[in-house]
Structure 1
Amino acid sequence: MTAVANTVFTSTQWNTHVRDNLNATMTGTAAAAGDWFVSSAANTIVRRIPAAANVTTAQTTTSTSYTNLTTTGPAVTITTGTSALVMFGAAMSSNTTDAACFMSVDVSSATTIAANDDWGTWMDGVPASNTVHMGMAKLFTNLTAGSNVFTAKYRTSTGTATFSNRHLMVIPF
């Protein structure tokens, strides 16, 4: 539609060409406080909703491979594009001097990525029974767009590792 001097727009023209375009902006699309918007293609935005989860209970593992604790997670199920910023951390301790405690994140559902030390956080070489709170951020750029589940996983190098106050936050792109 092209505006012409001294011409009146009909309500249908106004709604189609002005109101509907304004409703397609971020402000018009925002449904709740905290909504996040990203570009999914040229001239296209999509709404994303960051999510977080916590598990405060102290739980242990003797596994030297990444595993769930008695209470799985924390875990977040979220709609992503091909990228997401994941931040996670926990209070960690070991019953063995110079043992290492590891926390990482795996991705499942639309994407399958195993937890890995390459983007994990760990406490290493702390005297037995001392607790250290460690955290990490990882930008995943190789996700399959859609519903993805991010789950914290844990392991130890030796002995028994204890994890408490576990946190996970995902900001989807």
Structure 2
Amino acid sequence: MAWTAPMTAVANSVFSAAQFNLHVRDNLNETAPAKATAAGRFLVTSGANSVTERVITEANVDTSQTTTSTSATDLTTVGPSVTVTTGTSALVLWSCEMTNNTSGQVSLTDFVVTGASSRAASDATALKLMPSAAGSYPNRSGVHTLLTGLTPGANTFTLKYWVGGGTGSFAYRRITVLGL
């Protein structure tokens, strides 16, 4: 169903059932209250005069795991990962508690996208931690990005991990995605 510009009523003219359905009923079915199917969701514009319901989706993995990989990789417990219906953009938020056993070596966490779209993890958007001393206390922090240029549809967002050197430890891994 699509929204239609309402007709202009003319005095003493007959308002047919078809006109009522097109200009009143069908337009009311395109409003936010008609599109909302459950609590805790939000609506985004999906085109001119069109709204679509979206779900805030999140996942987490608390287990502390390590890697020595210098390119983006999965840990023993993959993810976390969420599959979200998006339009052409999404707001992605992620956090992780990280450390590295080697002073001056960075640990990084970023996300990849698979499904309708494809995106590799990147140093440019990654959450980074470089301890000042070997065995430093883990640091928990987070970052977000507005990702544009997605192909609308089901997109899967998965966290990946890597280091500049040494062994990186990663725990309390979280990802939240709002498909826009």
TM-score surpassing 0.5?
yes
Instruction: Tell me if structure 1 keeps the 8 A contact 2:103–2:130.
Output: no
Query: Which amino acid letter does the alignment assign opposite residue 132 of structure 1?
Result: N
Tell me the CA shift for residue 172 of structure 1.
Answer: 0.9
Instruction: Tell me if structure 2 keeps the 8 A contact 1:123–1:134.
Output: no
Tell me how far apart the structure 2 counterparts of residues 42 and 19 of structure 1 sit (CA, whole Å): 18
Tell me the CA shift for residue 128 of structure 1.
Answer: 2.2
Deviations 1:62-117 (A, max 9, x none): 10100001111111101111100100010001122222110001111111110001
Match of 1:42 in 2: 48
Instruction: Tell me if structure 1 keeps the 8 A contact 2:80–2:159.
Output: yes
Match of 1:23 in 2: 29
- Spell out the pairing of 1:10-159 with structure 2 (5 A cutoff): 14-129=20-135, 130-159=137-166
Query: Which amino acid letter does the alignment assign opposite residue 147 of structure 1?
Result: A
Match of 2:3 in 1: none
Look up the SS of the partner of 1:104 in the other structure. strand
Tell me how far apart the structure 1 counterparts of residues 130 and 103 of structure 2 sit (CA, whole Å): 9
Instruction: Tell me if structure 1 keeps the 8 A contact 2:30–2:50.
Output: no
Look up the SS of the partner of 1:50 in the other structure. strand
Paired residues in the alignment total: 173
Tell me the CA shift for residue 11 of structure 1.
Answer: 6.8
Query: Which amino acid letter does the alignment assign opposite residue 63 of structure 1?
Result: S
Long gaps (5+) in structure 1: none
Deviations 1:28-64 (A, max 9, x none): 1101112222222211122221211111111111101
Q: Identity of paired residues, percent?
A: 46
Tell me how far apart the structure 2 counterparts of residues 128 and 100 of structure 1 sit (CA, whole Å): 11
Instruction: Tell me if structure 2 keeps the 8 A contact 1:93–1:162.
Output: yes
Tell me how far apart the structure 2 counterparts of residues 94 and 58 of structure 1 sit (CA, whole Å): 12
Tell me how far apart the structure 2 counterparts of residues 139 and 66 of structure 1 sit (CA, whole Å): 20
Query: Which amino acid letter does the alignment assign opposite residue 95 of structure 1?
Result: N
